[in-house]
Structure 1
Amino acid sequence: MTNPTSRVRPAGAGGDALREQRLAQQRRLQRHRVVNMATLAAAFSLFALYIAWLEVHGADAVRNDELPMAVAAARGPAELDGADSTELAKRGEYLARAGNCFGCHTSDRSRPFAGGVAMNTRFGTIYTPNITPDADTGIGQWSNADFLRAMHEGVGKTGERLYPAFPYPSYTKVMDRDVLAIRAYLNTVAPIHSTPPANALRFPFNQRWLMFFWNLFNFDEGRFVPDPKQSAEWNRGAYLVDGLAHCGECHTPRNFMDGLQSRERLSGATRAGWHAFNITPDKLSGIGDWSDADVVAYLSSGVASGRANAAGPMARVVEDSTQYLSGEDLRSIAVYLRALPPVRRADTQPRDTRGVPATDVTALRGAAINGVNGAQLFIANCASCHRWTGEGIGASAPGAYPPLIHNSVAGATDPANLVMVILQGVSRKTQQAEILMPSFGNQLTDVQIAALANYVTARFGNPRASVTAVQVEQLRSQQQ
């Protein structure tokens, strides 16, 4: 049966209608193309205006947020506004220490600031540049405006966008006078003719122009402004922690673009296998139970007695940077950190409150050992320094072998740092003592290191923290 509502159309009329539909569709597509081209042209025009604005209001422009910082800036030997070049360079040396320029730009300690430090990121490896005053391979031909622009805006001398492995998102807060003092100091170091290796970044991350879009989402340019409601000490601590010392670059989790997650600021993050712990004042996950004196002691010596001992990247920060800061600046950092909003992570107990002395050595005497045994490995490799009970040797003396009981590394939820310490050892030289723990990466297999780490966490730390041989292998592969 045929549908009584249907109509049979003549072939010619149907063809005309179809052609009209096609022509209408083509006109719509053409209008869309015009709109899209106009939108693209407008976006390009805005971008060009933005570039022009940067040229006019760049590093040489005077910014309204550059307020006097006598009470907030990191201070070296003296306040040196209008100082001569020698005094300015001396102050710059102190500030360069606070910013740890040496640690990030020195791969060979006999060639300071010549660059070449490999920085492992999820997008590939970035090598730090030579910042000595060498004219060909360093920054000898950079003007003060070039240096300010790099520090404040993440843009190099020739206009190339710098990668945020260089922490310009933090350095942008540093006042012009402090940046120029650092530049004055760098002008006094020995020029070294050295070109670091080329970056090894995967496509498209090796395209520097894409940093324009990264900056849109992850970078706010502008100098630090003191909070008049806070004390001078708090403001000085904020200026250091959030700016020159760039603590958040390691201690803040990152988003999928590798930008800092501001909502979880300073709550801990993992970089190159090492976990930078939560330094907010949360009483379970952070440093809420630490005193100001604990924070000062840790930053000046690498040891907060009964709480933590610096290892890995933090040991190098203490050695190259924070041990040289004045007592005033260290106390300011402590005051600021302990006044921040606390951030709770997954911890159910403070890391430095776990563990009891072990008695396994008695049970091992005369016992037959089958397979890989964590207790046996501990007695054979660790007990001579940390005692078989895990109580350490030397108590709180500067060169003591630290206890594993009430130790933040053994008590952590994530055992990565414990494994990294076993693999790489500890090297930390301060004005108080030189600490050296040998590495066991070449002596023990992944299976043995996993068994040893699991024994340490079970006896002296967090019994819920465990690691597998596969995870040890992954941590072993991390760049040093």
Structure 2
Amino acid sequence: MTHPTSRVRLAGAGDALREQRVAQQRRLHRHRAVNMATLAAAFSLFALYIAWLEVYGAGTVRSDELPMAVAIARGPEQADGVDRAGLVKRGEYLARAGNCMTCHTSDKTRPFAGGVAMGTPFGTIYTPNITPDPDTGIGQWSDAEFLRAMHEGIGKTGERLYPAFPYPSYTKVTERDVFAIRAYLNTIVPVHNTPPANELRFPFNQRWLMLFWNLFNFDEGRFVPDPKQSAEWNRGAYLVDGLAHCGECHTPRNFIQGLASRARFSGAVQAGWHAFNITPDKVSGIGNWNTADVVAYLSNGVAPGRAYAAGPMAKIIEDSTQYLSGEDLRSIAVYLRALPPVRGAEKQPRDTLGTPATAVTALRGAVLSGANGVNGAQLFIANCASCHRWTGEGVGASAPGAYPSLIHNSVTGAADPANLVMVILHGVSRKTQQAEVWMPSFGNQLTDDQIVALSNYVTAQFGYPRSSVSATQVAQLRKQPQ
């Protein structure tokens, strides 16, 4: 039995222990409160700094923004002695180079009226109307407001623009070129059209958050030529990194959708399509392409024996790059071929894979076999062979309007079969000055299982043999807005 005195001592020790624990909890709470207060104070100071930059930093005059340069670039409305027709013509060429048409035209009968749905991991963004309509377009925008949007990603009323509009690239474009583009846009037919509202989830629909995105992903400033490089290289850099914004599609993005600068031009996925590696790596990229290959591809969508444009790239060629001068196209090729090569997971170049089929007669009258009773070879004979030949070798060789070979083709030879599936689902439409290319879509005719069988047969026979796709992947690609 415990002595009463011992019980009193134990009780006292227990009370002391409890008081010690309470004191520790109080110190912990005070420590947390101090940390939270410090964090809040730091955030407040940071917010005040950003606000100060917004008020006082925007007025800084940069070397290419001197009043005389602005007056010359703005055209005859603000300066005498400027060739209005020449300015507009130059602006049209630059708007082509910047691919304004593709992104801002959902209906070809109403060019630049906006409404193109751009899917992002955070929701859908609809491109705005950039016709000179005063109510729904940019007819009431001043030149300074247009310049600020292009260079800083800030809209007419001071709202932050989303980087689906590639201002992180357009910021490199000179003022003179920006005002020439504006002069051209002022001459197009005004279209009264209000695109749908963006469909972004909270908190991504809060534009003020772009302040923080810009801190990590946006460097405002014009292109500076490299004196160590040739004029051709510098022109290519200006187009690729700035006006043509090639990296916006061909560079992977980080978790907040900023461009991953360490993997520039190494490839990325856009709306279900794989924009391939365009660095000069000889296995993963275009290191085996010569200047003529690049120029031909950007001119008519065909690099014979290598690649055939489809999807978003076909639209870019149709609306943009086919109109560029030979000099500019060669400059782009020179710059791309001088980039640091980036090696991917490929073991062999995509355009070196595949062999002709030889067993077509064995399929005649054969019983259906394969997954779910679907045979990819039979589907190919029934749907594809009339244009691509049952051997897969195509018709028309390297002519601009040829039916392309599926052998030594960068789409069928890719480890990622997404582009092949997207071509089957949506077909091909590409109109250039050399030819009009069209392939029907099979999305409404073939089931997901049939597309799986067809795609896997094509890649196994004519391209990368270990590439395969599942019905789940096909269903996901089918849902991608185009």
Give distance in 1, aligned partners of 2:27 and 2:368: 84
Establish whether residue 44 from structure 1 lines up as the match of residue 30 from structure 2.
Answer: no
Match of 2:457 in 1: 455
1:177-326 matches, cutoff 5 A: 177-326=176-325
Per-residue CA distance 1:215-248 (angstroms, 9 max, x = gap) = 1111111111111111111111111111111111
Give distance in 2, aligned partners of 1:49 and 1:461: 55
Give distance in 2, aligned partners of 1:49 and 1:21: 40
Q: Structure 1 residues 29, 330: CA separation in 2 closer, same or farther (over 3 Å shift)?
A: same
1:174 is paired with a residue of what secondary structure?
Answer: coil
Contact residue 65 and residue 224 of structure 1 kept, 8 A = no
User: How far has the Cα of 1:37 moved from its partner?
Assistant: 4.5
1:50-129 matches, cutoff 5 A: 50-58=50-58, 61-64=60-63, 83-129=82-128
Amino acid paired to 1:398: P
Contact residue 131 and residue 138 of structure 1 kept, 8 A = yes
Amino acid paired to 2:204: F
User: How far has the Cα of 1:39 moved from its partner?
Assistant: 5.7
1:142-153 matches, cutoff 5 A: 142-153=141-152
1:125-136 matches, cutoff 5 A: 125-136=124-135
Match of 1:354 in 2: 353
Q: Structure 1 residues 100, 395: CA separation in 2 closer, same or farther (over 3 Å shift)?
A: same
Give distance in 2, aligned partners of 1:66 and 1:237: 23
Give distance in 1, aligned partners of 2:35 and 2:401: 71
Establish whether residue 337 from structure 1 lines up as the match of residue 336 from structure 2.
Answer: yes
Q: Structure 1 residues 28, 414: CA separation in 2 closer, same or farther (over 3 Å shift)?
A: closer
1:217 is paired with a residue of what secondary structure?
Answer: helix
The number of residue pairs the alignment matches comes to 464
1:205 is paired with a residue of what secondary structure?
Answer: coil
**TM-score, normalised via structure 2 length:** 0.90
Give distance in 2, aligned partners of 1:7 and 1:179: 87
Give distance in 2, aligned partners of 1:43 and 1:364: 70
Contact residue 306 and residue 351 of structure 2 kept, 8 A = yes
User: How far has the Cα of 1:66 moved from its partner?
Assistant: 7.3
Q: Structure 1 residues 7, 179: CA separation in 2 closer, same or farther (over 3 Å shift)?
A: farther
Give distance in 1, aligned partners of 2:272 and 2:376: 22
Give distance in 2, aligned partners of 1:90 and 1:262: 34
Match of 2:404 in 1: 402
Contact residue 151 and residue 171 of structure 1 kept, 8 A = yes
Per-residue CA distance 1:381-432 (angstroms, 9 max, x = gap) = 1111001111110111121101111111010010110000001000000000
- Match for residue 440 of structure 1 among 433, 439, 442: 442
Contact residue 89 and residue 184 of structure 2 kept, 8 A = yes
Higher mean C-alpha deviation, range 46-55 or range 252-261:
46-55
2:335 is paired with a residue of what secondary structure?
Answer: helix
Establish whether residue 162 from structure 1 lines up as the match of residue 152 from structure 2.
Answer: no
Q: Structure 1 residues 466, 86: CA separation in 2 closer, same or farther (over 3 Å shift)?
A: same
User: How far has the Cα of 1:172 moved from its partner?
Assistant: 1.1
Give distance in 2, aligned partners of 1:9 and 1:135: 85
1:191 is paired with a residue of what secondary structure?
Answer: coil
Higher mean C-alpha deviation, range 454-463 or range 31-40:
31-40
Give distance in 2, aligned partners of 1:20 and 1:267: 57
Match of 2:469 in 1: 467
Contact residue 169 and residue 241 of structure 2 kept, 8 A = yes
Amino acid paired to 1:407: N
Per-residue CA distance 1:345-387 (angstroms, 9 max, x = gap) = 1111111111111112121134333421111111111111001
Contact residue 160 and residue 208 of structure 2 kept, 8 A = yes
User: How far has the Cα of 1:48 moved from its partner?
Assistant: 3.1
User: How far has the Cα of 1:49 moved from its partner?
Assistant: 3.9
**TM-score, normalised via structure 1 length:** 0.90
Higher mean C-alpha deviation, range 111-120 or range 212-221:
212-221
Give distance in 2, aligned partners of 1:290 and 1:66: 39
Root-mean-square deviation (CA, aligned residues, Å) is 2.8
1:126 is paired with a residue of what secondary structure?
Answer: strand
Give distance in 1, aligned partners of 2:376 and 2:10: 88
Contact residue 64 and residue 175 of structure 2 kept, 8 A = no
Give distance in 2, aligned partners of 1:404 and 1:19: 78
User: How far has the Cα of 1:83 moved from its partner?
Assistant: 3.5
Amino acid paired to 1:51: A
Give distance in 1, aligned partners of 2:333 and 2:221: 24
User: How far has the Cα of 1:52 moved from its partner?
Assistant: 3.2
Amino acid paired to 1:158: T
User: How far has the Cα of 1:151 moved from its partner?
Assistant: 1.0
Establish whether residue 426 from structure 1 lines up as the match of residue 428 from structure 2.
Answer: yes
Give distance in 1, aligned partners of 2:118 and 2:430: 20
Amino acid paired to 2:270: R
1:94 is paired with a residue of what secondary structure?
Answer: helix
Give distance in 2, aligned partners of 1:51 and 1:86: 42
Q: Structure 1 residues 474, 25: CA separation in 2 closer, same or farther (over 3 Å shift)?
A: closer
Long gaps (5+) in structure 1: 68-80
Higher mean C-alpha deviation, range 138-147 or range 335-344:
138-147
Amino acid paired to 2:116: V
Give distance in 1, aligned partners of 2:22 and 2:405: 82
Long gaps (5+) in structure 2: 67-79
Give distance in 2, aligned partners of 1:262 and 1:90: 34
Aligned-pair identity in percent equals: 75
User: How far has the Cα of 1:54 moved from its partner?
Assistant: 3.6
Per-residue CA distance 1:185-212 (angstroms, 9 max, x = gap) = 1111111111100011111111111111
2:82 is paired with a residue of what secondary structure?
Answer: coil
2:430 is paired with a residue of what secondary structure?
Answer: strand
Give distance in 1, aligned partners of 2:48 and 2:179: 29
Give distance in 2, aligned partners of 1:286 and 1:400: 24
Give distance in 2, aligned partners of 1:112 and 1:61: 35
Amino acid paired to 1:401: Y
Contact residue 116 and residue 197 of structure 1 kept, 8 A = yes
Q: Structure 1 residues 424, 21: CA separation in 2 closer, same or farther (over 3 Å shift)?
A: closer
User: How far has the Cα of 1:50 moved from its partner?
Assistant: 3.4
Give distance in 2, aligned partners of 1:173 and 1:152: 7
Establish whether residue 389 from structure 1 lines up as the match of residue 391 from structure 2.
Answer: yes
2:342 is paired with a residue of what secondary structure?
Answer: coil
